[in-house]
Structure 1
Amino acid sequence: MKASGQDTADCPADGRTWLQFSLNCYHFVHGEEDVAKSYSIEDAKDMCRGYDLLTVKSAEENDFIVKYSPSVWKGKMSVWLGMYYDSDEDVFKWHDDNGVLHYSNWEDGGSDDTDLPLLDTCVVLHSNTGKWENVSCTEEPENGVVCKTKAVWISPPKGSPLLSALVIISVVLILVVSAVVWFFHQRNNPGSSILNLIEYHPPFRSPSSDQACLVETEEIEVVP
């Protein structure tokens, strides 16, 4: 949880369940009643609705997929990885950024252990071991799909620049008007200070009972 006033990261709000790990969001696709379905690589991409298929860039991310999978699927799953073979550079790359693999977790034999045509070679992650395996892109529908996207950074609401400007202008106008009033007062009343503008009026006090009696006596004596 982020402290108030700080930027926060959030996952897509598209009606599906997304799980956040680090700065990425993951949606584990599963069938009704947790019954796994088989998806071709193209079907898997369609299930992600424009988001990327799973890419794994670190051992921590690989472990996260392995540990969370049992809460979604029952038994071993082979999950499509968003990876392709670049024939120009003779390397596997990730679909999301066309980047080479800086982390991998191949089964024994590595990425070269395959009899498949490289252009028809896709890769899956086994949910029970976390190991990666080469498979045919067209002949072997796999039954696990995980969609991935980056979390969206959300900044806290900021004050309106217009409102801030109005406050500053109001303060400046008050200061200017005060200065003008002081200037004309000084010109019309040389030598006086601004304190002279403030007059003291003592509060009205009713006469005490003794003073009231004295006034009545004086009035009686004056009568002829």
Structure 2
Amino acid sequence: MYEQESLELCAYMYTDDHSDMIGTWDYTSCSDRQNISICQHYAEKTVTPEVDSVKCPHKSNGQNWIPFRKNCYTLLLGASRWGNSEINEQQICKSLAGFGEILTIRDEAENEFIKKQLQPFKNLVMFVWLGMSKNKTDEQLKWLDGSNVQFSNWKYGQRPNVTEPFMVGLNINGEWEIITNPRYFKTIKQRSIVMCKIENDPKDEFMKGVVDVNTPDGISYRRVAKRMDWYQAMQECGRNGGHLASIPDKTTNDNMALIAKRDGFSLWIGLSKQDVSGWPFEWSDGSALKFTPDGFVKDGRDTEEKCLFVDSSGNWTAVNCHASQEGAICYNHINEKTSAQLSSQSSSSCPKDDGHFSWILFKDHCYAFNMHNYSVFTMDNAKNVCQNLDSSSKLLTIKSKEENDFVSDYMNKNPSITSRVWLALHVDAKGKPTSWHDGSELDFSRWNAEIGPQLSPQVSQICAVMVSSNGTWTHTSCSNSRSRIVCKAPAYPGSPVALVFFVILLICIFAAIPFIIYHKNKHRFHSTVRYQRNFDDADSASMINEEE
């Protein structure tokens, strides 16, 4: 498409009276000769502007500036429109047109205006050049004047995978195309118009960062510019101990809409419904659903799980959670203790963590929490997951208030997707709990059927969940509900660390016994008597005779 020979092309009009093409335009090499040329002279006269119209810098024999709203535009068509070694891209307009900067497009109306200016040249050129660069710090596209690209109209409606170097052009349909192969750059330049713009509207909003909004104390927002589904967005936010954004009030919703507008795409937020049997929407960070925008229906039955994204107008849209969006809004509590730090409580008396589940010791049992999997499961899948973790691992059973409080408290401190947690509890056809899956008696219960959904008579199998936000238990559909998992296993009676410590202690004891015995009996090995020779007169003989 882009590999044709690079030529300087000029337009001409058919004027042959005997041709049925009279009055039509075509183009040819600028070096070809034509029989007639038509010149146009602009009369130097004062044109009375319309009320509120912008004054553009028209000059005799100069560039023709076109007004639109408060701004002025002109097209550079000559061979010199790309400047030279002495004129860089930012200086092209001031050097060649005398005013303005390389084109920026701020909204849909302006994009449509630029598209119309391209139509007379559609047989000559392919694009209006859109000068952009990419900020490596925040992955944000920027216009050459340094402002952020907020509005966009990419050809396939998706965030482009921008690699350096690249070129962007607006085609005759008003769509933006990106070219990343440098081999085509020369041809694209040859087939592109350079447009200059005198922008009289303020740029302040376009100079701000994507997440530069008013935030509550202790909160920081982050935009993830990446095509992904809702569960992948959960994982991206969780990499730094964060969450998908929750929206407690209209002010926050306005801020989320502003982030989506600056980004140029609708973005995932943390609201979802993982149950199609009547459970309401839930925030993935465990916060209560206090606010919804006008027009959003938060209840009702669906045939599939639903997750939400927010657009630039602050509207919420529910789609399949496995659908892809162009990014997400995350937030972090500054200086928050993350789940990774909490999981450091793991004990050697428990099975080894597998990277997705963290085992925590509580009394004589170990509990596996899926803190890093960012998934929810049906009942059958939940049981299989626990069995695959460890041979002794089973789905959660609860035998006391202390155990119930431990699980609900831990889940509340580490929220993810939903507050529901599967219980390995048999429930009869009337919705009443009977016994645990392992056959043990139901000695303790926090059952509250009123907080659960009104199940349809067509529900063939009823299961039980704990609602971790308050620690109560209730019923739900075994197949139409997706909940979190906690697996449970008996703690090991001993651990390798304890065994090593015990062996070292025994060695120390046996090494100390001879030392103690030695100290108690050392008088047998060493006498305290000292001998001294005394001399008297009778003992005066010498072994050596002295000379007289």
1:72 to 411, 414, 418: 414
Matches within 5 A, 1:4-153: 10-15=349-354, 16-32=357-373, 36-48=374-386, 49=388, 50=391, 51-74=393-416, 76-85=418-427, 92-96=434-438, 98-109=439-450, 120-142=461-483, 144-153=484-493
Residue 215, structure 1, aligned to residue 541, structure 2:
yes
Question: Closer, same or farther in 2 for the Cα pair 1:217/1:132, shift >3 Å?
Answer: closer
- Structure 2 unmatched ranges of 5 or more: 1-346, 504-528
Aligned-pair identity (%):
28
TM-score, normalisation: structure 1:
0.57
Question: Closer, same or farther in 2 for the Cα pair 1:114/1:92, shift >3 Å?
Answer: farther
Q: Is the 8 A contact 2:350 2:360 kept in 1?
A: yes
The structure in which a higher percent of residues are helix is: 1
Deviations 1:49-108 (A, max 9, x none): 241111111112111112111332247411111122478xx9622123x12311111124
Task: State the 1:115 CA deviation.
Answer: 5.0
State the AA in 1 paired with 2:352: A
Task: State the 1:38 CA deviation.
Answer: 2.1
Partner SS, residue 129 of structure 1: coil
- Structure 1 unmatched ranges of 5 or more: 1-7, 160-201
Question: Closer, same or farther in 2 for the Cα pair 1:83/1:116, shift >3 Å?
Answer: farther
Q: Is the 8 A contact 2:358 2:370 kept in 1?
A: no
Q: Tell me the C-alpha RMSD between the 2 structures.
A: 4.2
Provide the rounded CA distance (Å) in 1 between the counterparts of 2:419 and 2:444.
21
Task: State the 1:141 CA deviation.
Answer: 2.1
Provide the rounded CA distance (Å) in 1 between the counterparts of 2:358 and 2:473.
25
Question: Closer, same or farther in 2 for the Cα pair 1:126/1:216, shift >3 Å?
Answer: closer
Partner SS, residue 153 of structure 1: coil
State the AA in 2 paired with 1:44: A
Aligned length: 165
Task: State the 1:27 CA deviation.
Answer: 0.9
Question: Closer, same or farther in 2 for the Cα pair 1:40/1:58, shift >3 Å?
Answer: same
TM-score, normalisation: structure 2:
0.26
Relative contact order: is structure 1 or structure 2 higher (C-alpha 8 Å, sep ≥ 6)? 1
